[in-house]
Structure 1
Amino acid sequence: MKFEQSKYFKTIKHFKLVMPWGNYYLYEKFVVSELDHGIHFDWDKTKLLLKELIEFYGDNAKIGFISNRVNAYSIDPQNWSKVQKEHNLLLASAIVIYNSSTYLNATLEKHFSKTSMKRCNSLDEAVTWITGLNELN
């Protein structure tokens, strides 16, 4: 389910960040990402996104991150460890999976992440998990 079709889009105040490769929905304590079909999310794109997130949340922010994988794309799994090493912005991440390929990719990415990362079967599961984390409350 695309995020704009979910109940969260209309019921919780957020800011929509449109980037050339996808959309990000910025909430007080977490971000939901939806990347475009066919892109490769590399370190250069990650750095541009981080600049925007730090500008929005501040230098010392600690947030959750939800990757809503409604589209097929590739990602450099080492992005996760680089983000944590250079910015320490993300407390935890959830990846919403829609097929076995996404599940396998998320499993690989989980090995590179030094913070908690959960594979979720729905957007509801991801939002419930992220918002329930003690570190974000």
Structure 2
Amino acid sequence: MKFEDSTISKKFTYTKKTLAFGEFYFMDTFIIAEMKQGIHLSWNKIVEMINLIHLHYGVNCKIAYISNKINSYSFDPNHWVYFFKHYDFLVASVSICYSEMNYINATLEKKFSSKSVKRSNSLEEAISWVLNLDEFKTNSLKLK
């Protein structure tokens, strides 16, 4: 389910940003990303996302990333290795899996990540997990 179509979206204050390859919802301590159907998430697109994140949160931010896999797209899991070697703003990430293939891909991504990666079946579960991370328990969140 798309984040904006979910009931949980009504509980948060967020900023929506759109790039040619996906939509991004920025909350206080986490991002929900929804990639477009059939895209290949190349390193150039990842750099666009990083720039968008830094513009919104600043370069010294600490956030979590939720990948709401509502569409099928490709991604090179080796990018995780390069990403974590050069960037340190992600505390953890969650992949919301709506199919067996999503789950298999998320399992592969988990093996390449140096940070905590959770696989989830729903937006509610993913957001709850992120909000309960020790790094964010002291932050107050803006609920409507």
**Fold conserved between structures, TM > 0.5:** yes
How far apart, in 2, do the equivalents of 1:126 and 1:82 lie? 25
What root-mean-square deviation, in Å, do the aligned CA atoms of Structure 1 and Structure 2 show?
Answer: 0.9
Residue-pair matches, total: 137
For the residue of structure 2 that corresponds to 1:119, the secondary structure is strand
Q: Which amino acid counterpart does residue 93 of structure 1 have in structure 2?
A: S
The equivalent of 2:33 in structure 1 is 33
| Structure 2 unaligned blocks of 5 or more | 138-144
In the TM superposition, what whole-angstrom CA distance separates every residue of 1:14-67 from its partner, at most 9, and x where no partner exists?
Answer: 110100001000000000000000000011100111011011111111100000
The equivalent of 1:73 in structure 2 is 73
The equivalent of 2:2 in structure 1 is 2
| TM-score for the superposition, normalised by structure 2 | 0.92
Note if 1:55 corresponds to 2:37. no
In the TM superposition, what whole-angstrom CA distance separates every residue of 1:64-86 from its partner, at most 9, and x where no partner exists?
Answer: 00000010111111222222221
Q: Confirm or deny: 8 A CA contact 1:83 1:89 kept in the other structure.
A: no
How far apart, in 1, do the equivalents of 2:66 and 2:82 lie? 17
Q: Which amino acid counterpart does residue 3 of structure 2 have in structure 1?
A: F
How far apart, in 2, do the equivalents of 1:120 and 1:86 lie? 27
Q: CA deviation at 1:128?
A: 0.4
| TM-score for the superposition, normalised by structure 1 | 0.96
For the residue of structure 2 that corresponds to 1:94, the secondary structure is strand
The equivalent of 1:12 in structure 2 is 12
How far apart, in 1, do the equivalents of 2:61 and 2:97 lie? 27
The equivalent of 1:134 in structure 2 is 134
Stretches (4+) displaced over 4 A: none
For the residue of structure 2 that corresponds to 1:54, the secondary structure is helix
How far apart, in 1, do the equivalents of 2:107 and 2:32 lie? 19
Q: CA deviation at 1:98?
A: 0.5
Q: For residues 110 and 9 of structure 1, do their structure 2 counterparts lie closer, same or farther at Cα, with a shift above 3 Å needed?
A: same
Note if 1:83 corresponds to 2:94. no
How far apart, in 2, do the equivalents of 1:80 and 1:18 lie? 22
Q: Percent of aligned pairs with the same residue?
A: 40
| Structure 1 unaligned blocks of 5 or more | none
For the residue of structure 1 that corresponds to 2:65, the secondary structure is strand
